[in-house]
Structure formats: structure tokens, C-alpha cells
Structure 1
């Protein structure tokens, strides 16, 4: 696996890798942008960050899924903060790959066992939900950009 490209701009306010991991572990919703035939499509999703991959589960009969099967390039943003001086976030860019069967029916898949349980622990009280309508996508980021406006010197 290739490491993501280093951030070139706004490095002064960039998060460290440890801060990125902590931030992505704490927040719960990302906004995913796909390339559709009629232009960009952005939707919120729950996600799981495992320290190197962003895991997404998506309805396999959705515009997002159709877009990604035609063009697997994706951008996902997780952000937080209300006032200017507390804004922070992470953008992850790359291509997604499908992991497991489509739609997910619960067939044994060693790679998904830990992902599904961690996702269930995070969002559904520990109960793994397999509904026969969703499928898993893995984003191995090619580029990660982060910002934390709390690092801007206050005057």
C-alpha cells in the first residue's frame, strides 16, 4: 500500500497523523462526493477509519453506488467546529474498491469481520446488521488534507 501524498499547502495548520487518527475516530459522519453523469453528487454517510482506510457502507442500488461503479474516484470530508477559530477537518481522496459480495448477505469474509464489528460497535450498539441492500467500499486514501484552525495564532 502506498502512503498518501504529503500535504503541501497550509502545513502550519495541518493535523499530525496522530491528530488525524484521533479526529476521524471521534467524528461520526463524513460527506462523500462522487462523479456522476450529471455532475458531482454529495451525500453524508457513517464511516469507519481503521488508521489507513476509510470504510463506507452504501446502498448498492443508489446514485452514489452507480456513480462509483462508473468512476471509483471519491472525496470524503469529515469536519467539525462552529466558530471560525475552532474549525477543523480532514479530506481524503482516492479510489474506492468493493470488498465482499454485492449486496452484502453475510457470507464469511475475513477482512470484513473486524470492520463490520467495529462499525457495529460504533453505530448500532454492537449488533452487526446485514440487510441485503448495502455493500462495503474501502477507500485507501491517495491524498489526505487536514486543517485545524485552532493552530492559527490568536492576536
Structure 2
């Protein structure tokens, strides 16, 4: 497992997560998405005309995995699960919304090297404040080949 500090740093540096949602018949759907972590919630900026969005409108339960590593001894990641909340207008146009101040500062800095959040009329925010978080870091397993740690 990662410590909370290691987990926060890891989620801050990773760029892509995989989001699992459920259809009405219970079948799963998984898609890649960009995100930001504010230390307590995972913020997902989703296209509102996506299958993900419509499935979450019907059933807001979600599981998200952020992981990396090539060799077995390098594998690490975080799984977060719970219920998403829809925050702000959809699509997001930039109307004042105090709840979005942090993600709209973190997101453009992380992905676009910009200070201001661009709004394209196609995306809106989902907030996952996880009920459950599981992490792993195989680099810490005794006896496995070591790779240099970053950070």
C-alpha cells in the first residue's frame, strides 16, 4: 500500500484514469479520462454526450483506477470507488461556482500549462469523494527487482 502522502503525490502526477460505470442491465463500461485529485476528491471532466455521462446520470456508482508500470516489480496504482456528484452547469460554461475553484485551477495547469480553465461547451464536472480507496506499489515488495523511484 501507499501512504496517504505517496497516494496524493501519485494521483497528482498521473494523467489518465480508467472510469468504470454500469448500464441499466448491469453490464460494465470502462473508458479513459483525464482527472485531478484535490486531496479528498477525484474530479473528472467528462463529455456530457458520452455513454459514461448517461450511465452515471442513471446510476452514479463508479470505480476508477489510476495505474502505471511495465514490469511486474514496477506496478503501482490506486483504485477509488463510490458515488459521483454532478457539480456546476452541464455543459460547463464558466459560470461562477465556488466548488469548482480548485479543480478549475489544477486541471488547466496539469494538462495545458495554463492558468485559466478553457470551456468548450461539451464537458462538465463529476466529483468522486471515494467511499473506498485501495492502493498498491509492487516496487515495495521485498525480493522483487528494484526500479528507481521518482519523487
Instruction: Normalising by structure 2, report the TM-score.
Output: 0.90
Q: Give the aligned partner of residue 30 of structure 1.
A: 17
Alpha-carbon distance in structure 2 between the residues aligned to 1:51 and 1:43: 23
Alpha-carbon distance in structure 1 between the residues aligned to 2:93 and 2:14: 28
Alpha-carbon distance in structure 1 between the residues aligned to 2:39 and 2:81: 15
Q: Which runs of 5+ in 1 are unaligned?
A: 1-13
Asked if structure 1 preserves the Cα contact closer than 8 Å seen for 2:38 and 2:102, the reply is no
Q: Where in structure 2 are the equivalents of 1:3-18 lying within 5 Å?
A: 14-18=1-5
User: How many matched pairs?
Assistant: 142
Q: Where in structure 2 are the equivalents of 1:5-154 lying within 5 Å?
A: 14-37=1-24, 39-126=27-114, 127-154=116-143
Instruction: Normalising by structure 1, report the TM-score.
Output: 0.88
Secondary structure of the residue aligned to 2:89 is coil
Q: For the aligned residues, what is the CA RMSD? A: 1.1
Which consecutive segments of 4 or more residues in structure 1 shift more than 2 A? Answer: none
Higher relative contact order, chain-length normalized (CA < 8 Å, sep 6+)? 1
Alpha-carbon distance in structure 2 between the residues aligned to 1:142 and 1:115: 20
